[in-house]
A and B are shown apart, each in its own frame.
Chain A
Amino acid sequence: MNLPRSLVSGFGASLLSIGLIAALPAQALDAGQIAPPFTLNDPAGKSVSLESLRGHYVYVDFWASWCGPCKQSFPWMNALQARHAASGLQVVAINVDEKEADARRFLGEVPASFTVLFDPKGVAPGAYNVQGMPTSFLIGPDGKVLFVHQSFKDSDRKALDEKIAALIGAKP
């Protein structure tokens, strides 16, 4: 009789398929890997690509208007941009809000003195496999990821400042 065996094989196959789907969420992009390219628009509608920043240290931060820790990170990123502008560091904050208006309202409350880009379709966070908001990536002049930081707390400031300064070879 074939039926029970077919049932077993059928369920086995379905379990396997579920297992495969469950196994899909991979790790976020890690240090040493090549940062995936992106080309997105800034609030003025100007197109900015990662490629155009090649040769600079780029601090890519993924944020959303609905994310509490992101709000805390903006003043810190303003300071980071100001401090390391001479070292060629460029802070690029990629917004992942589906509605651009939400992002603009946030920027009205929390001003940003660095590059902000809009990615309403979530293409870049998909390519970087972002696991939570906010997540940031320090990218070297060669386009390789130097380190990844997820979430943001005010208590992270000192450690982040020191780590970034050491990696880009500047004073903290």
Chain B
Amino acid sequence: MSRTPALLITALTLLTSSGCTIAPPKPWQKGVLAKPEMTMAGDVLELKLSEHTYSSKEAASGGFGVGGGGCGCN
């Protein structure tokens, strides 16, 4: 068998693999993501209440949203 199909498949895989990569936004590009309406929850108030319960029960806080730019400081 010639090497052409092998090369072709290698080239195709290489070319298409870049489609699988997601370039995450840089910490300074999270202005839109930091908006309250961008939270995963449907209702912002409900999220706040459940976060409050969670942080008191688990003695842990932070890590919700990107208000602090993903540095875990907010």
Question: A residues engaging B (CB < 8 A)?
Answer: 1-3, 5-7, 9-11, 13-14, 17-18, 21, 62, 64-69, 96-99, 102, 122, 125-126, 130-135, 150-153
Contact = CB atoms under 8 A, between A and B. Distances in A.
Interface size class of chain B, counting residues whose CB lies under 8 Å from the partner chain: 20 to 34
B30 A131 contact: no
19 contacts: A1-B1, A3-B1, A3-B5, A3-B9, A6-B6, A6-B10, A7-B9, A9-B6, A9-B10, A10-B9, A10-B14, A14-B13, A17-B17, A17-B18, A67-B34, A67-B69, A131-B27, A150-B71, A151-B71
Contacts of B9: 3, 6-7, 10
A37 to B, nearest CB: 18
Contacts of A153: 73
Nearest to B11: A10
Given A67-B69, A131-B27, A133-B27, 19 more contacts: A3-B6, A6-B9, A7-B9, A10-B9, A10-B13, A11-B13, A13-B17, A17-B14, A21-B21, A64-B34, A64-B69, A67-B74, A69-B73, A122-B28, A125-B27, A130-B28, A132-B69, A132-B72, A151-B71
A-B pairs, top 5 by smallest CB distance, nearest first, are A132-B71, A151-B73, A133-B69, A6-B6, A14-B17
Nearest to A65: B31
Nearest to A94: B28
Most B CB atoms within 10 A — which of A14, A96, A133, A151? A133
Contacts, number: 107
B68 A67 contact: yes
A149 B22 CA distance: 28
Nearest to A67: B69
A152 B72 CA distance: 11
Given A132-B68, A151-B71, A125 B28 contact: yes
Nearest to A21: B21
Contacts of A97: 31
Most A CB atoms within 10 A — which of B9, B35, B68? B68
Given A10-B10, A13-B14, A67-B74, A130 B67 contact: no
